Chain A
Amino acid sequence: MSLRIFRISNVFSWSVAILLGSALFWVSQSVQRQEESLRRLSRQVNLELEAIRVLEAEWDYLNSPVRLETLADTYLPVENPESLQVTEDISDIPEAAAPVVPSVKPIPVSLSATPPSDGELAPASTPPEETPSENVIQNSDRQKFNALLEGLDEGGGF
């Protein structure tokens, strides 16, 4: 009868109980560990949040208009625009005199096909062709400039 205690079902129950017990213990221990780390993390988060609050206040302190204006007066070579210098549409500003050298990139085709008429390579900042004729220089609008480019192509001797 005393051997009954070692019956398979009992052994099974005991081992299940021990297993569950240790699992429970393990779970509770790891929960405590996690809680501890969570607490530590949230304490850290709070410290960070507090630091961010301080930094935000400092940011707005350093960016106060009084200070910025003093700094701008000291270090920037610009001043406030006059009321008439402001415009809402950039195209209202008249174009400056047309540049002697068209600021559009050179056309590689003409360069490779025929060398410039004077036989020298132009500096990198200037187009490869000879300076365009005067009447073209005075026109600053895009259409005229495109016409110029086409004319140059033809002159290139395709």
Chain B
Amino acid sequence: MKGERGSALDQARGRMVIVSAVFVLAYIIVAARVVDISIIQGGFKGRDVAGYADESRDEGALLRRADITDRNGVLLARSLRTASLYVDPSMVRNAEEVAKSLVRLFPDLNYGSTLKKIQAKSRFEWLKRNLTPDEQQKVLYLGEPGLAFKDEDRRIYPQGGLTSHLVGYSSVDGNGIAGVESSFDGFLKGNNPSLALTIDVRFQHALRRELNAAMHEYKAKGAAGIVMDVRNGEILALVSLPDFDPHHAVDAKDVQKFNKATLGTYELGSVFKVFSVAAFIDSQKNPLRKAFDAREPLKRKSARPIRDYHAQERILSLPEVFIHSSNIGTALMAETMGTKTLQDYYTHFGLIGKSPLEIPEVATSRFNTPWHDVDTLSASFGHAVAVTPLQLITGVSSIINGGEKIEPTLILNDNTHQKAAKSVSERIVSPQTAHRMRQLMRLNVTDGSGKKANVPGLMVGGKTGTADKPGPGGYDHDKRLSSFVAAFPMDDPRYAVFVMLDEPTGTKNTNNFATAGWVAAPVAGEVIATIANLEGLAPRIVGQDFESTLRHLVKSEEQVREERNAQSH
């Protein structure tokens, strides 16, 4: 009896042990799984697990295109979430009715094509992209179950057309088409916070305002301008007119979309003398003692004689060649240096090839091929060679900053890794040459063709350039490019400014002249005055010492007249 009872008890105990074991096992499995989920997996992808609550935000951020800002953080482009309207045709009962009410809401929709979409066999047809919240409300009010919305990003450019050629634009599907939007498409899509450009919208506005005013006053076909920091090549403003509204880039004409400042190549004329004279000073011994016979037009075989626009018809010193913009003088310099030397200098100045700028719209300069010796003479005063305004201002900046080569850049340092090795430390002219060029450019504004660019106290220096545009069978004397390249303050340059007007016509105010000294130099002066205001640059009265070492080489009009009289007697 006792044994039976004992065995029953044992049996029960045995069952209990088995049951407990099963439970213990189950709990161990559960515990192991908990450890696995919370600690092991949690440790490895902690952010994913913690982020489940921000699911929607992460999703949005992944799809969202990054902002583009100026150097001070002002938004140039940003993607905002908007609702886009689509229709599921299978859910629509009365297509005609729906189409009618939609056309009433959106007058730009076409009734026929809308109806066609609503009656389509598919289950998804876009009707209208990027609605405003107000429009969305009105559509919701229709109460049509077949109409639905999908959140989409719309690219907004708060500055409108102000930076259209730099920022560019993107398609409705969020792909960059032009400008930085295109060249940094990958970066902008890559879940990065924002991309800062070197542009300052205030400078940009000043440049655009002045160019626009001049373009209208002189009835020019177009205009372009650049402001550059001469120390590091940062582009502070870049304008090409006419421009376009990036929100409606599709409707813009080609001439609006064309970036004259980086994609246009032009024979810019006398502004090129900065390069020829710098090359001459840098390569020759005692260049200031040289004299240049500009009494007669320069005749060389197989070419038309080279004439001076402001003909002095006398023997000129080097500073006189520069400030009177003598073609003969610079051609003689080029002849002395020889083709090879001049070409080498042009290469160092970055005039041959293509500027390394971070937008796709950059052109390669054009030269006569094959290059004859006579082309060397033409090139010395800016003909037979077509460069972009960007190349010109970069070259000039490289010379006057002390002779260190700089490269133009649009992207503010340290915000992408793509810009590590941008600073090139390459000497292109000696510091002495750089100093002479600063003096010459200053002299040209105080005593020469650039007087109208002067802003008191800011030590502006510059060089004018008026070039006849090439037409069918030679140069067209009625169609001009008037340009001015300036820098300031000339004793320690910080900013370079280039302005160009395409086919300006003179007005009463300019005595019907449309040359650079009359139409382009004042624009540069206004831009410089505004920049100085914005930066709070105090005027510096350095006295007349800066350029005076060269001034004694320049004969005044009176001296010239007296000499002429003496000769004729």
Which residues of A are at the interface with B, using a C-beta cutoff of 8 A?
Answer: 35, 38-39, 42-43, 45-46, 49-50, 53-54, 56-58, 60-61, 63-66, 69, 80-84, 86-88
B201–A83 contact, CB under 8 A? no
B455–A86 contact, CB under 8 A? no
Closest residue to A62 on the B side, CB-wise?
Answer: B158
In B512-569, the 8 Å CB interface with A consists of 529-530, 532-533, 536-539
Is B332 among interface residues, defined by CB-CB distance under 8 A? no
Instruction: Tell me, rounded to whole Å, the shortest Cβ–Cβ distance linking A148 to chain B.
Output: 34
A64–B56 contact, CB under 8 A? no
> Which residue of the partner chain, among A49, A58, A69, contacts B57 with CB atoms under 8 Å?
A49
B80–A60 contact, CB under 8 A? no
B162 / chain A contacts, CB cutoff of 8 Å: 64-66
A-B pairs, 9 with minimum CB distance: A65-B205, A61-B158, A88-B538, A60-B75, A60-B158, A83-B455, A38-B53, A83-B457, A84-B539
A38 / chain B contacts, CB cutoff of 8 Å: 53
Is B160 among interface residues, defined by CB-CB distance under 8 A? yes
A46–B57 contact, CB under 8 A? yes
Complex CA gap A87/B53 in Å reads: 56
Closest residue to A38 on the B side, CB-wise?
Answer: B53
Which residues of B are at the interface with A, using a C-beta cutoff of 8 A?
Answer: 53-54, 56-57, 60, 74-75, 78, 80-81, 156, 158-160, 162, 201-202, 204-206, 209, 455-458, 529-530, 532-533, 536-539
Prevailing SS type, chain A contact patch: helix
A84–B457 contact, CB under 8 A? yes
A63 / chain B contacts, CB cutoff of 8 Å: 74
> Which residue of the partner chain, among A43, A45, A65, A83, contacts B202 with CB atoms under 8 Å?
A65
A–B complex contacts, Cβ < 8 Å, 22 sampled: A39-B53, A42-B54, A42-B56, A45-B57, A49-B57, A50-B80, A54-B80, A56-B78, A57-B80, A57-B156, A57-B158, A58-B158, A60-B74, A65-B201, A65-B202, A69-B205, A69-B209, A83-B455, A83-B457, A86-B532, A87-B538, A88-B536
A53 / chain B contacts, CB cutoff of 8 Å: 78, 80
B159–A60 contact, CB under 8 A? yes
B57–A64 contact, CB under 8 A? no
Closest residue to A61 on the B side, CB-wise?
Answer: B158
A42-B57, A46-B56, A86-B533 given; name 13 further pairs at CB < 8 Å: A38-B53, A46-B60, A49-B57, A50-B81, A57-B80, A57-B156, A64-B158, A64-B205, A80-B530, A82-B456, A86-B532, A86-B536, A86-B539
